[in-house]
Copies of this chain bind each other. A is one copy, B any other.
């Protein structure tokens, strides 16, 4: 079944738009607000480092909703969305050595060539030929099949006995929460921390922060339902910020000191502002949210507070570590999955996920 890369290139050249092309279904973007579950040609190998993966489980990310609103200009008409998933390797190019046809794999949201200067520094997010490209500048994972460039650096073997609903969280949300929130925030045993935003990514921060045994984790959000989930996931206190008094509450809870680590997991100025207002002297503000506009940074108050502020697009360099921790049973990422749909029902899944508050949705699982 494995096609050689030369054959595949030929097939690709001929196949697209011809009668001979094998057809599949995919979630296709057609500009702001327009998208559908449509026929598309099955992807073919284009480079020696590519793999073709048949999707068995996928999911939807908050970023996909941004794309659908037209907020992400790199995504053009005709693009297949999605950057998360589990699947089975169908074909590999001649330079692919780390997976073989038939392997079940976890797809990483970040494509890593492993060879460029950024990859060698562990900054896969800025890979010269990769980074976040899936469902962005190339077709993505909300489809029957997906082409994965740089397969050696972008696929992880699905562990024996693993659960697809749990491990699809490893594609993006868990390493994002862990690397951007927990590692950048330098969470240490006994620390006090606050997470602003109890959506899926904020909850991923909450789960993975517990790898380092902080003493107190305060979850701040506008939605009591999500705060209740946060409590269940290990938050030691929750703060509903609807009344605009989250800062006061956090300062009270910390005896006026502020938190050692404040994680921004929303992406708007107001939530960043909470973080910079509650971080203790010597503490860290770890930004996880995707921002669309500048924020006002109060250096006139912070210049002598010995704090750090970090930003990060997930590098997924901790994915091997994440898989080991999950294997040990330390966390159960499956809790993040609230709704299940057939992949072919993805339009319903988008409706549910797009109304997350109403539906009580965290991550929606799409099974092929």
Task: With both chains docked as a complex, state the minimum distance between the C-beta of A72 and any C-beta of chain B, in angstroms.
Answer: 12
Q: Is the CB of A304 within 8 A of B311?
A: yes
- Complex formed: what's the CA distance from A322 to B188 in Å? 11
Q: Is the CB of A123 within 8 A of B289?
A: no
Task: With both chains docked as a complex, state the minimum distance between the C-beta of A88 and any C-beta of chain B, in angstroms.
Answer: 20
> If A297-B294, A327-B215 touch, does A308 touch B309 (CB 8 Å cutoff)?
yes
**Interface pairs (9), CB distance under 8 Å:** A97-B113, A114-B114, A125-B304, A184-B308, A190-B322, A190-B323, A294-B296, A294-B300, A297-B297
Residue A37 lies at the interface, judged by CB distance under 8 Å to chain B: no
Residue A94 lies at the interface, judged by CB distance under 8 Å to chain B: yes
Residue A330 lies at the interface, judged by CB distance under 8 Å to chain B: yes
Q: Is the CB of A304 within 8 A of B313?
A: yes
Residue A290 lies at the interface, judged by CB distance under 8 Å to chain B: yes
Tell me the residues in window 93-146 of chain A with beta carbons closer than 8 Å to chain B beta carbons.
94-95, 97-98, 113-115, 117-123, 125-126, 132
Residue A338 lies at the interface, judged by CB distance under 8 Å to chain B: no
Q: Is the CB of B325 within 8 A of A190?
A: yes
From B119, B216, B291, B330, give the contact of A328 (CB < 8 A): B216
Q: Is the CB of A282 within 8 A of B123?
A: yes
Query: Per DSSP, are chain A's interface residues mostly helix, strand or loop, or mixed?
Result: loop
Integer count of this chain's copies in the complex = 4
Tell me the residues in window 151-188 of chain A with beta carbons closer than 8 Å to chain B beta carbons.
152-153, 184, 188
- Complex formed: what's the CA distance from A186 to B330 in Å? 19
Residue A293 lies at the interface, judged by CB distance under 8 Å to chain B: yes
Residue A213 lies at the interface, judged by CB distance under 8 Å to chain B: yes
Question: Interface size of A by Cβ–Cβ distance < 8 Å?
Answer: 74
Residue A68 lies at the interface, judged by CB distance under 8 Å to chain B: no
Q: Is the CB of A320 within 8 A of B117?
A: yes
- Complex formed: what's the CA distance from A97 to B341 in Å? 41
Contacts of A321 in B (CB 8 A): 188-190
Contacts of A309 in B (CB 8 A): 297, 308-310
Q: Is the CB of B295 within 8 A of A123?
A: no
Q: Is the CB of A120 within 8 A of B320?
A: yes
* CB closest residue in chain B, given A281: B126
